[in-house]
Structure 1
Amino acid sequence: MSDFSLDGFLPYLLNNAAESTSRAFSAHYRRDHGMTRAQWRIMAHLGSFGALTATEICRRGFLEKSKVSRAVAALEEAGLVRRAPSDSDRRAELLSLTARGRDVHAELSAYAQDFQSGLVQRLGPERAATLAQILDELIERQPD
């Protein structure tokens, strides 16, 4: 038997914490809007940052291009996202929320804020702020 402890392995703990919280949060957008995790993440990026290319969403959200392509197609079909040619790169398309997409994003954002408040209450404000700072540091240090 090895001295390695999976239960103390930080990547394992980070993944399980992310998966657990993501599953709890996803129940809402799956139930109320029939969205996948990738679709929610795309909506969140477009609602937070405005028009973006699929490549920018992949980079910002650590998402695979094929998942983003499928999710964007479904969001476009649902009338939540639209595509427009990019002024700076003729090969790229800018994605943005439609009016309906902005309404859905506003509803999901309100729920996300409530969900966040529950996590902060569970951990306590100080520990939640420390955790957020640590996670930001880990994300920033990841090699491209």
Structure 2
Amino acid sequence: MSRARPATLTLDAFIPYRLSVAANAVSQRVARVYAEQYGLSTQEWRLIAVLGEDGERTQLDLVKRTRMEKVPVSRAARALEDRGLVRRTQSEHDARSRRLSLTPSGRRIYERVAPAALEAEAEVLAELAPRERATLRTLLERVERSAIRALRPTP
């Protein structure tokens, strides 16, 4: 009688681990831009980046867009508001909801950091050919969609 061998986990071959390690390394490199120059946390920069690109959003929109939990989004929003980088206003449609937008100071930081973040991205991806970069983006989008689908409750 033969018994199946239990699967062994080899971290260096485990895609979720590799994605996490790569994401952390890339994030740390890009974080130098906004952390050293502007004293922003990763969560704060994510909110500034989304608001800079998308414009005014609710905190729930920011949770969905960044895939961050509600509490870190709320803390980052509060910290940015305290620093005068984000403005919070009451939603016209829901008295409990707050809409966030960049202040002129927040917009200036976004306009300064975004090009530097793109330079850091280019540095990190320098060993990849343009075609490989496009393939990587496509594959990451597909993995993300698949993971989101897997998170949905089953009927």
TM-score when scaled to structure 1? 0.94
Residue identity in the other structure for 2:111: A
2:88 aligns with: 83
- Kept in 1, the 8 Å contact 2:46–2:66? The answer is yes
User: Which residue, out of 129, 134, 140, partners 2:134?
Assistant: 129
Aligned equivalent of 1:30: 35
C-alpha displacement at 1:90, in angstroms?
1.8
Shift of 1:118: 2.0
Matched with 1:8 is 13
Shift in Å, 1:46 = 0.4
> Are 1:116 and 2:85 counterparts?
no
Output the CA distance in 1 between the equivalents of 2:32 and 2:114.
Answer: 14
Q: For each residue in 1:83-131, what CA deviation from the matched residue of structure 2 results, as whole angstroms up to 9, or x when unmatched?
A: 1111222211100000010000001111112122223422111111100
The one-letter amino acid paired with 1:112 is: A
Same amino acid, percent of matched pairs: 34
RMSD: 1.4
Contact 2:29 2:120 in 1 (8 A): no
Greater shift, 51-60 or 114-123, is seen at 114-123
Structure 2 residues without counterparts, runs of 5 or longer:
1-5
Which runs of 5 or more structure 1 residues have no equivalent in the other structure?
none
1:92 aligns with 2:97: yes
Runs of 4+ residues over 6 Å off in structure 1: none
Q: Secondary structure at the match of 1:94?
A: strand
1:138 paired with 2:143, answer yes
- Aligned-partner Cα distance in 1 for 2:127–2:53: 25
User: Normalising by structure 2, what TM-score?
Assistant: 0.88
* Letter of the structure 1 residue corresponding to residue 63 of structure 2: C
Q: Residue 20 of structure 1: which of 25, 43, 51 is its match? A: 25
What residue identity is the alignment partner of 2:72? K
Could you tell me whether the CA contact under 8 Å between 2:88 and 2:101 is conserved in 1? yes
CA distance, structure 1, for counterparts of residue 115 and residue 8 of structure 2:
45
Deviation per residue, 1:19-72 (Å, 9 max, x gap): 000001101211111111100000011001001111111111111111111111
Q: Which moved more, 1:64-73 or 1:120-129?
A: 120-129
* Equivalent position SS for 2:126: helix
Q: Show the counterpart of 1:107.
A: 112
